[in-house]
Amino acid sequence: MKTHPLKIYDTTLRDGTQGEGISFSVTDKLLIVERLDQFGIDYIEGGFPGSNPRDITFFEEARKLKLRHALVAAFGSTRRAGVAAAKDVQLQVLLEAGTPVVTIVGKTWLLHVTEILRTTAEENLAMIEDSVRHLVAAGREVVYDAEHFFDGYKDDPEYALRTLAAAARGGAANLTMCDTNGGTLVEDLREIVARAVKEFGGERVGVHCHNDSGLGVAVSLAGVAAGASLVQGTMNGFGERTGNANLTTILPNLFLKMGREAACRPNLPQLRELSHYIDELANQRPDPKAPFIGASAFAHKGGLHANAAQKVARSYEHITPAAVGNHTRVLVSDLAGRSSIVMKARELGFHVDEHSPAVKNVLEELKRLEFEGYEFEAADASLKLLLARWLQKHTPAFELEGYRVIVECRGPEASAVAEATVKVKVKGKSMHTVAECIGPVSALDKALRLALERAYPAIKDTALSDYKVRILDSKRGANSRARVLIETSDGEDIWGTVGLSDNIIEASWEALRDAFEYKLLREEERGDAGNRKPDTA
Ligand SMILES: [Zn+2]
């Protein structure tokens, strides 16, 4: 079958924001548009200008952006029943958004036409055709989103195809079939898309899928295999209910497995970074299990497996991790032998000789710490610091002289507040700071930052992104121990650190200390690496 170059249509900023807990400010949305444009996404759906003032402001600002490739789309619906397209207020608002592309959604399913729109089958077809024609006449490229297409098709295939034909007659550049409820199975979708491709030509057909059956990616790929040439989806699968089809999974499959082409294909190695950027702005924690780009996507545990993966990466990895900007990770656990430690050390950037006594010592130290209850699988940064101390005699950027944390409740109606005092030696100078916060760990974090920021401004870029405590059963006495895992981010990278103590504040301190220490170690390494290339694609 002849294949067309694909068009990638991102709806993170419209359908994605329907997701629970996802919201973007106008500034966030503009930053995301620029980033998606740099990545090479073809269409960026910015929002629904008819729905709220925030989206109207967004479109005003988006017009000023100098995009090099992407076309921004405004989203809305067909004209109302019984109203001329030229008189329809919502279509007017869509044109005022001033985007090169307008996407309008219309009804496919007769059930919706009669029960929800309360109009006739014929009027619905006229609504689709008139609306598209009106927008095309105003110079817009129109993408027609056929809502509930697959359910509608199962109910009445001929009518469903007539709705697409109406949009085609109106001049729509693309007819996108939407699996709005996300319930369509792969084979059914493939068959229905193939029918539409036969009727209208693959270059004019698109798919928009949801993940309600856990098949969002699978049905999107099936749509492409059946001949569709435009794929809609969202970054990180944001979207209502279980989310939209996830572009961060769709794209590597299309390019690496199906051998397809699209404008963003050369930028695939930046996919992971793009995904993190979007999570950061959405205030979401990156999913470690995300296919291709998750932290665990190429993580290997256990000596034998890790060893084999090192020798022949292909033997345990379905793609080269670097193709999507990811990398192989060796998980160090007490099963690990010398070769795993050496591999891990190399992964973290150390030059080590497998037979050096330092490696033997560090392995012993690691086993001792793991026996005590430390766990480094989610704390690569603490592990790196440990290796730096043992293998390179790395000296910490600051030294603890003391800290104090007080939690106080000032009356029956008041909530408790915490105050932390920190004394550390920074570049030979003793710094003494105090900070107040709701929680004791936040107070400690704030006080330590105050102490470090002047000498190390890079600390300002970091923020605590996750904090977890696990109480370990004590096998050795009355006290149980607390293991604290902290995740820190600087917008570019995320790292994990660990602390362990009978005292939860002390365990938190250890993890916090490592979090900052790691950031400073990395800054130092970057400095040593000299001037890096500027960040251009
Ligand atoms: Zn949708």
pLDDT, one tens digit per residue, over 192-218 is 999 999 999 999 999 999 999 999 999
What distance in angstroms lies between residue 232's CA and the mean position of ligand 1's atoms? 9
CA of 537 to the centre of ligand 1 (A): 31
> Mean pLDDT over residues 282-294, rounded?
92
What number is the average pLDDT over the span 413-417? 92
Ligand 1 centroid to 209 CA: how many Å?
7
For ligand 1, the distance from its centroid to the CA atom of residue 208, given in whole angstroms, is: 7
Q: How many residues are listed for the chain in this entry?
A: 537
Dihedral class, residue 491 (left if φ above 0, else alpha if ψ from -120 to 50, else beta): left
Do residues 484 and 505 lie in contact, with contact meaning Cβ atoms separated by under 8 Å?
A: no
Distance (Å) from CA 63 to ligand 1 centroid: 24
Counting residues of the chain whose pLDDT is more than 70, the rounded percentage is: 93
Q: How far apart are the CA of 150 and the centre of ligand 1, in A?
A: 13
pLDDT value, residue 530:
38
For residue 320, how far is its CA from the centre of ligand 1 (angstroms)? 32
List the structure tokens of 193. Answer: 């898309």
pLDDT (0 to 100) of residue 334: 53
| CB-CB contact of 398 with 423 (8 Å) | no
Q: What is the pLDDT of residues 111-162, one digit of tens each?
A: 999 998 899 999 999 999 999 999 999 999 999 999 999 999 999 999 999 9
Q: Ligand 1 center to residue 90 CA distance, Å? A: 19
Q: For residue 529, what pLDDT is reported?
A: 44
Query: Which DSSP state fits 415?
Result: P
Out of 36-45, 75-84, 478-487, which region has the weakest mean confidence (pLDDT)?
478-487
Give the distance (Å) from ligand 1 centre to CA of residue 464.
33
User: Distance from the CA of 484 to the center of ligand 1, in angstroms?
Assistant: 39
| 326 CA to centre of ligand 1 in angstroms | 29
Measured in angstroms, how far is the CA atom of residue 268 from the centroid of ligand 1? 24
Q: What local confidence, expressed as pLDDT, does residue 533 receive?
A: 36
Per-residue pLDDT band for 333 (boundaries 50, 70, 90) equals low
Distance CA 281, CA 13 (A): 12
What value does the mean pLDDT of the chain take? 91
Which residues place a Cβ less than 5 A from the ion ligand 1? 15
Q: How far is the CA of 245 from the centre of ligand 1 (A)?
A: 9
Query: Model confidence over 232-259: pLDDT tens digits?
Result: 999 999 999 999 999 999 999 999 999 9
Cα(210) to ligand 1 centroid in Å equals 6
How many Å lie between the centroid of ligand 1 and the Cα of residue 9?
Answer: 12
The Cα–Cα gap between 193 and 224 comes to: 9
Q: 15 CA to middle of ligand 1, Å?
A: 6
pLDDT at 537: 37
CA 207 to ligand 1 center in whole angstroms: 10
Tell me 204's DSSP state.
G
Cα(49) to centroid of ligand 1, in Å? 16
pTM to 2 decimals? Answer: 0.77
Question: C-alpha angle with apex 282: 41 to 28, nearest 5 degrees?
Answer: 65
Average pLDDT for residues 437-444, to the nearest whole number?
94
Measured CA to CA, the distance from residue 450 to residue 459 in angstroms comes to 9
Q: Ligand 1: distance of its center to the CA of 140 in Å?
A: 22
Report DSSP state, residue 14: T
CA distances from 5 to 104, 229, 310, 405 (A): 23, 7, 36, 60
